[in-house]
């Protein structure tokens, strides 16, 4: 999978277009059921040499955090890592893994941003729209937005709102 092949010219244009389509279907309101029974976490691992990747989803019982099911799906890497278009790289294998699940989670925690994205369509958002399942974007680094660093305390658990374009798009949490 050649990165330049996409980077050059307008190779990425169609994806930005699709991103705009997805944006129309985003639901920002809290649609979680009154009783959350299962939560899931997803991630993707890579084998650059083999140009293969494997997406995984693990479902746990919400109250006990006991793992009740897991599903994985391996496939060829077909999209480069491009900040802003990250979802097009990791969503495919996760969607496949999700469909093999017998126990569907009420919410999915993702390893990447949700609406804290230039267009409001990060990986978690993209996945949520694609599966029509509530998702939570949980990234380890900033993509967009600003926050009051002076107000973020040194103790673990401290959190302050993340702002992007005048709006709160998430929280910055000290782990």
Please give the residue ranges that form the binding site for DNA (CB under 7 A): 43-48, 81, 83-87, 111-113, 117, 122-124, 137, 139-143
To the nearest whole angstrom, how small is the minimum distance from the Cβ of residue 113 to Mg ion? 12
Q: Which is nearer to Mg ion, 37 or 130 (CB)?
A: 130
Using CB under 5 A as the binding rule, whether residue 54 contacts Mg ion is answered as no
Of Mg ion, DNA, none, which one sits near residue 169, judging by CB under 5 to 8 A according to partner kind? none
Using CB under 5 A as the binding rule, whether residue 111 contacts Mg ion is answered as yes
Using CB under 5 A as the binding rule, whether residue 74 contacts Mg ion is answered as no
Q: Which is nearer to Mg ion, 18 or 43 (CB)?
A: 43
Q: Which is nearer to DNA, 112 or 134 (CB)?
A: 112
To the nearest whole angstrom, how small is the minimum distance from the Cβ of residue 72 to Mg ion? 14
Q: Give the DSSP per-residue string, the chain.
A: --HHHHHSTTTTHHHHHHHHHHHHT---S----SS--EEEEEEEEEETTTTEEEEEEEEEETTT--EEEEEEEEEE--S---TT-THHHHHHHHHHHHHT-SS--SEEEESS-SS-STTS--HHHHHHHHHT--EEE--SS-SS-B--TTTS-SSTT-EEEEEETTEEEEEEE--
Q: Which is nearer to DNA, 68 or 152 (CB)?
A: 152
Of Mg ion, DNA, none, which one sits near residue 87, judging by CB under 5 to 8 A according to partner kind? DNA
């Amino acid at each position: 999978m050649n990165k330049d092949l996409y980077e050059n010219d307008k190779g990425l244009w169609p994806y930005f277009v699709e991103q705009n389509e997805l944006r129309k279907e985003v639901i920002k309101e809290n649609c979680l059921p009154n009783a959350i029974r299962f939560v899931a976490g997803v991630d993707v691992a890579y084998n650059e040499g083999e140009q293969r990747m494997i997406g995984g989803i693990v479902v746990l019982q919400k109250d006990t955090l006991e793992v009740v099911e897991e599903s994985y799906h391996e496939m060829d890497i077909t999209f480069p890592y491009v900040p802003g278009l990250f979802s097009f790289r990791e969503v495919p294998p996760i969607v496949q893994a999700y469909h093999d699940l017998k126990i569907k989670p009420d919410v999915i925690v993702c390893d990447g941003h949700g609406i804290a994205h230039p267009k409001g369509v990060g990986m978690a958002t993209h996945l949520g729209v694609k599966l029509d399942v509530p998702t939570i974007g949980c990234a380890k680094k900033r993509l967009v937005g600003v926050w009051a660093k002076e107000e973020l305390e040194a103790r673990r658990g401290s959190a302050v709102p993340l702002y992007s374009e005048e709006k709160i798009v998430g929280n910055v949490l000290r782990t």
